[in-house]
Structure 1
Amino acid sequence: MSALKLMSASFFVAATTAILPITQAASPPAVQPPGPVDMSVTMKPFPKPHPNDNRLVIRLPKRQNEATLLVRVTPGKHTQVDCNTRAYSGELETKTAQGWGYDFYVLRTDGKAMSTMMACPPNSSQMRFVPVTSAQQTLTYNSRMPLVYYVPKGFTVNYEVFVPQHRGTAKPE
């Protein structure tokens, strides 16, 4: 992904439709600052979440040249971990709201994290975001439609916005 430049820092979405920033990074000077968030699409077409799930919504702000931007979405869970590398297994299923044609995504996971088994130094435990690695996706930026995710309670969705910096074609040598 060296051809992509991170435009904004990672965000996570709360169980409501609010977007809560973790950190805020400065945008590159060539990119216009984000515009207002389009709230015209309601949640009416989307099904209510199951009792053990949360509906998480990402509403992207308007930007110029949205067709050149990408959004990387990573479901996961904030968990107390040691020095071992961890990841959850799971599957992200794309579904369509009946009668509306709007896509939404459903995360299915057993909630058990895989881990390396290294010996860790004492007191190396810390809170970290542990991703569902098989459910990460890269989508085209679209501020007109919200990204709607149904995830098990306790899980969240992080996202990053990228802009391509250089494009080219490989040549045989």
Structure 2
Amino acid sequence: MNKSSTFYISIMTLLLSSNAMATSPVHHEALNSNAISTKVFTTQNYQSATETKMYPKPSEGMTQHIITLPKRENEQDYLLEVQIGKTQLVDCNQHRLMGKLEQLTVEGWGYPYYQVEKVIDGPSTMKMCIEPKQSKFVPLGEGIKVQYDSRLPKVFYLPQDVQIRYRLWKTHSDYLFTSE
């Protein structure tokens, strides 16, 4: 091996190692993206846990959905969006479900929880559809957004055939004022 080959290999090694150092680090939030835990209980598999022992046991035909949020820095910058609904075989029309979502309070504790007693098929558009039906999540209303709070679980009581889907929202800007 001559001097120019050695120099070339040294330069390539330096460039490759510098390239590796320039790679963006993994953002801390990405590491915790799956840290939200969920549990679903019916009357048959109900298990009382310390953090949810004050909430009522699910009644017959109902499920208790528990969403537990991990502690985060600046929790006031986050919102939890929850949609209640069913996965159904639907055509190309827009479909909705109907039901009443109530916010209730655990007696003696003051902790909030949510309940839907009954869900029925709601309105849909009436377009002519030629495509085959597809399995899609059909929501009950627009869903709710609740303030992120890792101190208390978010508890929902729903009929057994009803699901919850959720996502987190995070603000990336400061408040602005209107012009005066």
| Bin of the TM-score, shorter chain as denominator length | 0.7 to 0.9
SS of alignment partner, residue 171 of structure 1: coil
SS of alignment partner, residue 76 of structure 2: helix
* Residue deviations 1:48-69 (CA, integer Å, cap 9, x gap): 1121211111111222111111
* 1:53 equivalent among 48, 62, 76: 62
- Aligned AA (1:117): M
Q: CA RMSD in A?
A: 2.5
- Aligned AA (2:32): P
Distance 1:45 1:150, change over 3 A: same
| Alpha-carbon distance, 1:43 to partner | 2.5
| Alpha-carbon distance, 1:37 to partner | 6.2
Q: How many residues are aligned here?
A: 143
Structure with the larger strand share: 1
Larger RCO (alpha carbons 8 Å, 6+ apart): 1
| Alpha-carbon distance, 1:89 to partner | 1.5
Check if 1:66 corresponds to 2:64.
no
Q: Is the 8 A contact 1:37 1:143 kept in 2?
A: no
- Aligned AA (1:126): Q
Q: How many percent of aligned residue pairs carry the same amino acid?
A: 31
Structure 1 residue aligned with 2:129: 120
Cα distance in 1 for residues equivalent to 2:31 and 2:75: 12
| Alpha-carbon distance, 1:78 to partner | 0.9
- Aligned AA (2:123): M
Distance 1:42 1:132, change over 3 A: same
Can you give the 5+ residue segments of structure 1 that lack an aligned partner in the other structure? 1-27
* 2:97 equivalent among 80, 83, 88: 88
* 1:78 equivalent among 79, 84, 87: 87
Cα distance in 2 for residues equivalent to 1:157 and 1:150: 10
Structure 2 residue aligned with 1:156: 163
| Alpha-carbon distance, 1:32 to partner | 6.7
Structure with the larger helix share: 2
SS of alignment partner, residue 100 of structure 1: coil
Distance 1:120 1:55, change over 3 A: same
Q: Is the 8 A contact 1:90 1:132 kept in 2?
A: yes
Can you give the 5+ residue segments of structure 2 that lack an aligned partner in the other structure? 1-25, 38-48
Structure 1 residue aligned with 2:53: 44
